[in-house]
Chain A
Amino acid sequence: MSDGAPPTEAESPAAHDQAPCGLMQTAADGTFLWVNRTFCNWLGRDFDALVGRIRFQDLLSMGGRIFHQTHWAPLLQMQGSLSEVKLELTRGDGSTIPMVLNAIRHERDGVITHQLAAFVARDRDKYERELVQSRARLVMAVAESTRLQAEAKDRALLAEQMIGIVSHDLRNPLSAIRMGVSLLESEPLSSAQRNVMIRMSRSVDRAARLIADLLDFAQARLGAGIAVTVEPIPGLHRLIAETIDDLALIYPKRVIEHVQLGSGPCSADPHRLAQMLGNLVSNAMAYGSPDTPVLVTTSIAEQSISISVHNGGEPIPEAIQASIFEPMSRGANTSTANRSIGLGLFIVGQIAKSHGGQATVRSSAAEGTTFAVTFPRELLR
């Protein structure tokens, strides 16, 4: 069989005929010169129906025939051999059977013959089809997830823009209400009326704070962070002490202690510092145990300053700590009257960032909860 000529009886013994693979010999144009019994059996075609009658490529699907012409034949010509080509062959009953084929080209005395070996590849074919299908499903899933992500992003952006617009527009009517309340307060009022006025006045303050938070949130999310106006602060401790005095009026039943460490000038945005402290103290009042004092520490070190607020009570679960400076995250205890819409700590974090520093939290059952903001001492240099 190796000399390229059609095998004689002696050269194609039963061993070739019943080899565990399909064996073929064809002329250069593909006409079958010999096929073994295994190939005939796989194909459900008789030896006599193949040899001398049809060409190898006649057994292929149309796509396979084009491939045979554009790839198989030139490759066999140029390389003298090819291997592991998978093609669908048509059986006698019209069904198809996938086969993996190797081929060698022989030339002897100017006569060219091709020898082919074939293996049935049903399992490989099935497996590959499954791979192709899962690949297609994966591509679709990725596209779908990308689309959903983009949609969600768009929706979030729209929501944030609306928050910015609405909170901005709410400020004017609120100013009018505030002015009206202070006008009415200067009128002679009954004791009951005065109580109502006080409650109204507090509610207006609270609404104003919420709107300010929302505006800061929108600005931080949509713009380049919260704007700060840094100015020299000769006495940080005094500034914070004054803010604590203001806060003490809001929480008359609670104790706020102030520890002052270090001394000297620094720079920061005083209004933002007051806002930050307000948010932290309000948090401490809301979530800390009411029977322990809230401890504010201002500390001036050589290179940095820090402001921390400590409260006792239940610690913040660790799972929440990691994302506590993200918007809308807060502890489980939200039943108190002082609860906010969950922007307070986000704004604290953003203010720290705008000062070139950062906000951190430490919380455990033994030590209680401490929020600290640290940033460089001199931002003006």
Chain B
Amino acid sequence: MQSFHPHGWVDHWGEFVVWARAEVHDSDRAAHAWFALLQRRVTVHAMGLEHRNNVRVLGDGPATIIFSHGFGCDQTMWRLLAPAYSKRYRVVLFDHVGGGGSDLGAYDQGKYDTLQGYTDDVLELVEEFGRGPVFFVGHSVSAMMGLLADVQTRSKFAGHIMVGPSPCYINDGDYIGGFTRQDIDSLLETLEGNYLGWASNMAPAIMGAPDQPELGQELSNSFCRTDPEIAKQFARVTFLSDVRRELPRLETKTLIIQCNDDLIAPISVGQYMHRQIPNSTLQIIENVGHCPHLSSPGPVAAAMDAFLAVGGV
């Protein structure tokens, strides 16, 4: 169905080599690691990215726009933007493994314990579904996956559109991420300590919205449903990530869409990113909250259009 991406292969190969070296006296475990490696490779081959990441490709055009959701919900987050862009571009939507309609069986606690696991997935998706110039639209932590994917491979991306991005959520010296380590620890403790409460939050029951009958079909879904254990790990990976060192290495044209009132990504973070990424534009839009693509789709689309027009696509 798709060729196995060498990057992912090399990553697992490294894991195997580490195993094999550390456990050289223990041939069973080395053999086990080797077998697991082969199995993982075969799994990716057999099931394909389409199933693993619940990939949807809409429309066609001279360039590809990949929309990547952040911590919390799934690809449905792009519902107010994706349809319009699918008239002019090839639009690729997907769910990160662990969220939405992704294959939960593909969730590997080891792989997804850092942003690198998600980054490898993004690279595989770009390789498999990208046609022509590829623009990567990443929300929040997803924008950093796109950034990592770019600086690790170069020349795969024509541009990045980062919606409410943050390279580091925790304050550190002069850097203001918006949260203290205690805030994040308390979040993680809340997640750990309120297993059932959060589990029910992850899959809220639907009351129905009588004034919006057009949502009838979608109401049967819970867009933010996730296995609670996976949600906790993704929260940890997201809010404890720090990719500030990588920002200056991004050479691709980048648009940073920053809300004027966003708890998760304060304005100072957007400004910091703009200073650190050489080829970047900062666009601050009027919006309260962390999801302007839902609450202020018009201004987000306007900023994206201007950015894409400059790129000639």
Q: A residues touching B (Cβ–Cβ < 8 Å)?
A: 28-30, 57, 61-67, 69-71, 73-75, 77-86, 88, 98, 102, 104-107, 125, 128-129, 131-132, 135
Contact = CB atoms under 8 A, between A and B. Distances in A.
A83 B204 contact: yes
B291 A73 contact: yes
Contacts of A29: 261, 288-289
B14 interface: no
20 contacts: A69-B72, A70-B72, A70-B290, A71-B224, A73-B289, A73-B295, A74-B224, A79-B218, A80-B211, A81-B206, A82-B204, A82-B206, A85-B204, A86-B194, A86-B197, A86-B201, A104-B207, A107-B211, A131-B195, A132-B194
Interface in B86-103: none
Interface string B235-271: 0000100000000000000000000011110000000
8 smallest CB-CB distances across A and B, nearest first, come from A80-B209, A70-B72, A63-B190, A63-B187, A29-B288, A128-B196, A81-B207, A69-B290
Task: Select the residue from A28, A69, A128 with max chain B CB neighbours within 10 A.
Answer: A69
B303 interface: no
Given A69-B264, A74-B73, A82-B207, 12 more contacts: A62-B183, A67-B201, A69-B291, A71-B201, A73-B290, A73-B294, A75-B204, A75-B223, A75-B224, A78-B223, A84-B204, A106-B211
Nearest to A77: B294
Contacts of B207: 81-83, 102, 104
A125 B195 CA distance: 11
Contacts of B187: 62-63, 66
Contacts of A131: 195-196
A64 B189 CA distance: 12
A73 B294 CA distance: 9
Interface in B191-225: 191, 193-198, 200-202, 204-209, 211-212, 215, 218-219, 222-224
B39 interface: no
A135 B219 CA distance: 32
B85 interface: no
Contacts of A62: 179, 183, 186-187
A131 B194 CA distance: 10
B79 interface: yes
B192 to A, nearest CB: 9
A70 B201 contact: no
B217 to A, nearest CB: 12
Nearest to A80: B209
B165 interface: no
A63 B191 contact: yes
Nearest to A106: B211
B72 A71 contact: yes
Given A75-B73, A128-B197, A80 B215 contact: yes
B77 interface: yes
Size range of the chain B interface in the assembly:
35 or more
Contacts of B179: 62
Contacts of A129: 193-194
A229 to B, nearest CB: 33
Task: Select the residue from A74, A80, A106 with max chain B CB neighbours within 10 A.
Answer: A74
A132 B228 CA distance: 13
A132 B198 CA distance: 11
B70 to A, nearest CB: 7
Given A70-B73, A75-B223, A80 B288 contact: no
B215 to A, nearest CB: 6
Contacts of A65: 263
Nearest to A70: B72
B244 to A, nearest CB: 20
A318 B212 CA distance: 73
B71 interface: yes
B76 interface: yes
A130 to B, nearest CB: 10
A79 B219 contact: yes
B212 A80 contact: yes
Contact of B190 (A28, A64, A78): A64
A74 B183 contact: no
Nearest to B235: A66
A67 B231 CA distance: 11
A77 B295 contact: yes
A61 B261 CA distance: 18
Contacts of A82: 204, 206-207
Given A129-B193, A131-B196, A70 B70 contact: yes
Nearest to A69: B290
Nearest to B188: A63
Nearest to A129: B193
B197 A78 contact: no
A81 B76 CA distance: 15
B233 to A, nearest CB: 15
Contacts of B190: 61, 63-64, 88
A111 to B, nearest CB: 13
A375 B215 CA distance: 73
B74 to A, nearest CB: 10
B237 to A, nearest CB: 14
A359 B200 CA distance: 57
Nearest to B73: A74
A83 B263 contact: no
A128 B264 CA distance: 28
B204 to A, nearest CB: 5
B166 to A, nearest CB: 12
Contacts of B198: 67
B83 to A, nearest CB: 14
B261 to A, nearest CB: 8
A64 B197 CA distance: 12
B282 to A, nearest CB: 21
